[in-house]
Chains A and B, each alone.
Chain A
Amino acid sequence: MTPSVASAAIAEFQATFTAVRREIAKVVIGHDRVIETILTAFFAGGHVLIEGVPGTGKTLIVRSLAEALNLSFNRIQFTVDLMPADITGTRVINEGADGRREFVFVAGPVFAHLLLADEVNRATPKTQAALLEAMAEQQVTVAGTSYPLAPPFFVLATLNPIEMEGTYRLPEAQLDRFLFKVLLDYPSQAELERIVGTTTSAETATVSPVLEREHAPARVEELKRLVRHVLVAPDVERYVATLVRLTVPPAMRGGDGTSAGAGARAGRTAGASAAGEDDVARYVAYGSSPRGGQALLLGAKVMALLDGRPHVTHADVDRGALAALRHRIVLNFAAEAAGIDTAHVIEGVLAAARRLRP
């Protein structure tokens, strides 16, 4: 790829991203950071878990994203009686014109480019597991037959932090499938004023598609492939590995002696990462998996492209660290008792990793 072609590709990526964000911003008031994170995960090829109280615009964001990208969109309201087949689809007996009966697969709502899994924690684990395969493998298996999902496939699941009775907490394995987890806060005063004003008026804002419907999936896939081409220096990769390793309690770290990739620099590690490591040792039950590192780096690549750069910097990694690691760190009871959240732990880990940087 010549420099001019590469430069044009990056510029096109930036333009598409900006256009989509602008279209979503027409109907979604505020939540700029959340929208950027969701878009980042989308172009990075991952899925997003949104945690927020009802009525904060979760569904609207995903619907607007689908409309802006001109992609298919489905929404599943997860309930306790939702069955896997309700998600993946099922085989039904179909009688043909000749009178012969045969099983025909009826695709479920998962067969869409964008899927909103609303209140995913209200479904049973079995149903959640059905979504798990779709997210991880980009395919569903029904009666021994696998049906691939058409790319791009993007799941945006929501969690309701209130009314926890009768919910099934998502297993860590399923949580790990989400590239990012974002928290949707209440809108600010100004945003709320705009929300109530625009949503109750006669004229409702509409989202204009940024991509043509026929070419939209392919174009999105092109943009996603472009993300993968972003250059990453070895020291940035090392930094990502260090970050991930630092989230793991010291007692559980592997025996390669790297201690978050920084063991070789043990002399500097001792003092530099003391605070972050202390928090991890005290409050973290399980640290991030390698998927956390992948999420960090993919998100950083998208951010680098958005910044017009063909390479990743440490700052790009830092920007996505909270969203990429938040749901991958399992805190223990001590953290709960002390009121420590994952954001606090990640900030300590980031500070420690920054100090370890050459």
Chain B
Amino acid sequence: MPAVDPIERQMRLVRRRRNLLELQRGVYFLIATAATSAAALVLLALVASERLFAAASWSLGGAVAATAVLLGRELRQRWMSSDTVPGWVDAHARLRGRLATLVAVRARDAGARRGGEGGGEPAFLPLLVAENVARLPTWRPDALVRRRVPRVALAAALAATAALALAVLIAPRLRPPFPEIVYSDEPVDGVESDEQTDTTPSRIVVAPARRDASRHRGREAGAAAGGGDDADDSRLAQLSSALQDRIRRDLWGREWERMRDEMARAERAMNARSAASGRERGGSDASEERGEEDGDRWETAGLSSTRPGTRRLGRKTGGDPTANGHAADATDTDAAARGMGDDESLTAPRAGTGEPAPGAGNESDPNLFGPATNVDPHGGDTFELAINAPVRAGRGGPRRPSGEAPAADRDAQPQLGRGTHGEQTIRRMPVPAAYEPIVREVFAHRDPAADMR
């Protein structure tokens, strides 16, 4: 009888090749699914709100898990055991049961012989072995399992990976623009005038709205009140939020972290201002509600409440010439944005109208430029504090300022500007109409001779 070793060896090769192919297919499809989900997750993390991202992340996670289970089940079904190889080869090589019969009959006879029940060798068994040996070339592993690599699955995996890479590559473009500083003496379009707030700024920081900021505030307020939203406080929500933050931090880098923190700080400041304003209005919730809106909002960043003349937040003051000079020199909008809201006193309780602010004195606020940092002031990663800058947060991104910036004042003594004193900005000060006679009187040009008299 011809030896069956070549048959068994070829069956092993077929099995190995087929299982490897199936394993690759499962892995590639899993990669494709995971990469597609990851790409979607990255994009959603960058552009979607926290709530949407949470829903999408858990949905995608579930989809990936379900796909993994399905792929695992399919792989298990397709996985070829040594028992199923003959039948599979028979079916695919059109051996008409020759191989399956040979293997089964040999196994049965071997079992019978071990049990002492074995008779003689079946008469047709040698013929069956010979037929199988003669048909070995028809079911070579490379003929039966033509491909070493599942092309469709591999292509899907590559495409999904490319999509993920593309998502990572375009991630910086999706970073929200930093707040923008524009210089203007005019009220900004679309900003409602508040009678207690001077809307004639010298600098305006326009920042994108953060929809989740109000929710953060609500959460913080709820936590402070001892309550809290169960859903938002759930561990799952925290996980998705942390994931979104992590993705943004990894893809947008430290710049985004700073912007996020500053924006959050500005939001907190606005919240505090709204609360103070509410108290001033006798506990009215009007400003609080207005502060909750995601529409246009104003924030004064870096306003020191300790300086003389500061009456309340949002009211424009004479300003510190030095600070103003710094700000005026700040042409880098990113740098200006980083200066936004660094004054921690914004979050402190505010004084009422006409009263000095807490901690007010004759000296400059030691925290005027915010707490000390480890940033090397001589390095490239420095910034200038934008003080006395109204911050405007608009929905959906920055709004371009309308109108042109006022022309710089002409230098009255240009010959003195070279090497003597640095130029200092002379600011125009809007004066309430009620004070006009007094101011005109004080600053009126008079005859020196008359004064002498």
Contact surface of A with B, Cβ cutoff 8 Å: 1-3, 6-7, 10, 229-236, 309-314, 358
Contacts and interface: CB of A to CB of B under 8 A. Distances in A.
A84 to B, nearest CB: 40
Nearest to A226: B123
Contacts of A234: 104-105, 108
Contact of B101 (A3, A6, A10, A233): A233
Interface string B136-161: 00000000000000000000000000
Nearest to B84: A358
10 contacts: A3-B130, A10-B127, A229-B122, A231-B128, A232-B105, A235-B104, A309-B96, A311-B105, A312-B101, A313-B96
A311 B126 contact: no
A69 B215 CA distance: 99
A231 B101 contact: yes
A354 to B, nearest CB: 14
Given A232-B105, A310-B131, A311-B102, 8 more contacts: A1-B127, A3-B127, A10-B127, A229-B124, A231-B105, A233-B100, A234-B108, A311-B128
Contacts of B100: 233, 235
B108 A311 contact: no
Choose among A229, A309, A314 the residue with the greatest number of B CB atoms under 10 Å from its CB: A309
Interface in B39-65: none
A303 B339 CA distance: 93
Main SS of chain B's interface residues? helix
B125 interface: yes
B395 interface: no
A312 B104 CA distance: 12
Contacts of B105: 231-234, 311
A232 B131 CA distance: 16
Contact of B126 (A3, A233, A236): A3
A6 B124 contact: yes
A310 B104 contact: no
A311 B129 CA distance: 11
B399 interface: no
B86 to A, nearest CB: 9
A10 B126 CA distance: 13
Contacts of B122: 229, 231
A233 B97 CA distance: 9
B126 A6 contact: yes
A310 B124 contact: yes
B326 interface: no
Interface in B53-102: 84, 87, 96-98, 100-102
A6 B108 CA distance: 21
Nearest to B83: A358
B104 A6 contact: no
Nearest to B129: A3
Contacts of B102: 311
B273 to A, nearest CB: 68
A234 B87 CA distance: 13
A339 B102 CA distance: 44
B123 A311 contact: no
A306 B378 CA distance: 98
B87 A311 contact: no
A358 B98 CA distance: 16
Contacts of B87: 358
B104 A229 contact: no
A358 B97 CA distance: 13
Choose among B2, B101, B122, B128 the residue with the greatest number of A CB atoms under 10 Å from its CB: B101
B88 to A, nearest CB: 11
Nearest to A314: B97
B97 A6 contact: no
A233 B104 contact: yes
B96 A6 contact: no
B97 A311 contact: yes
Contacts of A2: 126
A163 B181 CA distance: 111
A231 B131 CA distance: 13
Contacts of B97: 233, 236, 309, 311-314
Given A229-B122, A229-B123, A310 B108 contact: no
A98 B87 CA distance: 74
Contacts of B1: 3
